[in-house]
Amino acid sequence: MNRFIYINKVFCYLLYVTLFLFVGNIFAEANLMVYFPSTESPKILEQTLKKGLKSKDVAVSVFAKYRDFEQELTRVNPDFIIANSAFSSTNSSYKPVQILNGNKSHYLVLGSKDWKKDKLSTARIGVVLFGDMDWQKRYINNLLDVKVSKFKFVNKSDDLIPLLVFDSVDVIVVGPTDYEKLKSSYKNSTFSILFKSKEVDDLSIYIKKDKLDDKSVSSIISGITNEDKKNFFSM
């Protein structure tokens, strides 16, 4: 998936948020936070989204680093969040809206070609931080179906390859889009995909629980045309 498509994907979520606002006519003003831990610049993504957003009553902010996102989340308490599936496990105040059933992806485990999967339980794993550290260790272990205790967390995926090169970790875990980006940035580096994790849901929209009840959500979702869904799934 290239960069353009991925930005478009987030942009589509934004349109859904606009639809929520329009069809549901819920808020006079709304806050949307996007947590997008990728190699993309959050500034650029934020500018793109702001330009494309028809409703000027929605304040958009995009974060690539979990700690920045976490801090702002507590401060702003936004109405909508677009984040990866892990967010629902760490925050109970928001409800994921299941309008994109079936949209799944994998994390990829990268390392040197001769590295064997059976050594994984004793490996040191490098991964981008996207939650509380203790929680994320359990989450990654579950995804990889293994019990690893040594983790190195970094703030952005750009820092994962140096972790491998500096021999600070044995393998790294990345999202599929980050893999493409890292491969193009570190053309000559000798890392390869060792295996894939279990499937996880892709990005989701989360709505603050006290803003919408289940009935409202269902009625709004049913108001989204099949054409909209078809366009989205074709991304």
Partner 1 sequence: MNNFQRHPFKKYQLFVLFFYICSHFCIGNLGLIVDAAAAAKMNTLMVTEHNKQFNEIASIIENELKSKYNVEKYFLDENAEYKSFEEKVKESKPAVLILINNPAVNLALKYNEKNPAINGVALMGLNLRGLLKGQKNICGISFDIPIYTLVTQFAMLMEKNIKKVLVYSRDSIFSPVTAINESRLKTSGVTLITKNVEKYGKNKTDVEKFLQEEKKKFNTIKNEFDVITILLDSAFLSPDFFKDFWIPLSNEAQVPLIAGVESLVSPQLNFAVFGITPNIADLGLQAVQMITAVINGEKAEDISVEEPLGGNKILNSKKAETLSLKFNQDKLEDVNKL
Binding residues vs partner 1 (CB under 8 A): 3, 41, 43-44, 65, 67-68, 129, 133, 152-156, 158-159, 161-163, 165-166, 168, 185-190
Please give the Cα distance from 85 to 82 (Å, whole number).
Answer: 9
**Least distance (Å) from partner 1 to the CB of residue 52?**
18
Coil vs helix vs strand at 227: helix
Please give the Cα distance from 32 to 62 (Å, whole number).
Answer: 9
Q: Positive or negative CA dihedral for 101, 136, 179, 42?
A: positive
Q: Positive or negative CA dihedral for 144, 123, 113, 192?
A: positive
- Considering beta carbons, is residue 168 or 231 the nearer one to partner 1? 168
Amino acid present at 220: I
- Considering beta carbons, is residue 159 or 180 the nearer one to partner 1? 159
**Least distance (Å) from partner 1 to the CB of residue 156?**
7
**Least distance (Å) from partner 1 to the CB of residue 234?**
24
Question: Per DSSP, what are the bridge partners of residue 201?
Answer: 104
**Least distance (Å) from partner 1 to the CB of residue 70?**
11
Please give the Cα distance from 155 to 147 (Å, whole number).
Answer: 23
Contacts by 69-76, CB closer than 8 A, 24 or more apart: 69/33, 69/35, 72/33, 73/33, 76/31, 76/33
- Considering beta carbons, is residue 126 or 205 the nearer one to partner 1? 126
- Considering beta carbons, is residue 121 or 218 the nearer one to partner 1? 121
**Least distance (Å) from partner 1 to the CB of residue 18?**
26
Give the torsion through C-alpha atoms of 106, 111, 113, 116, to 10 deg: -80
Which run of H or of E encompasses 161? helix 160-165
**Least distance (Å) from partner 1 to the CB of residue 54?**
25
- Considering beta carbons, is residue 71 or 98 the nearer one to partner 1? 71
Pair of tokens at residue 73: 């989340």
- Considering beta carbons, is residue 106 or 156 the nearer one to partner 1? 156
**Least distance (Å) from partner 1 to the CB of residue 154?**
6
- Considering beta carbons, is residue 104 or 133 the nearer one to partner 1? 133
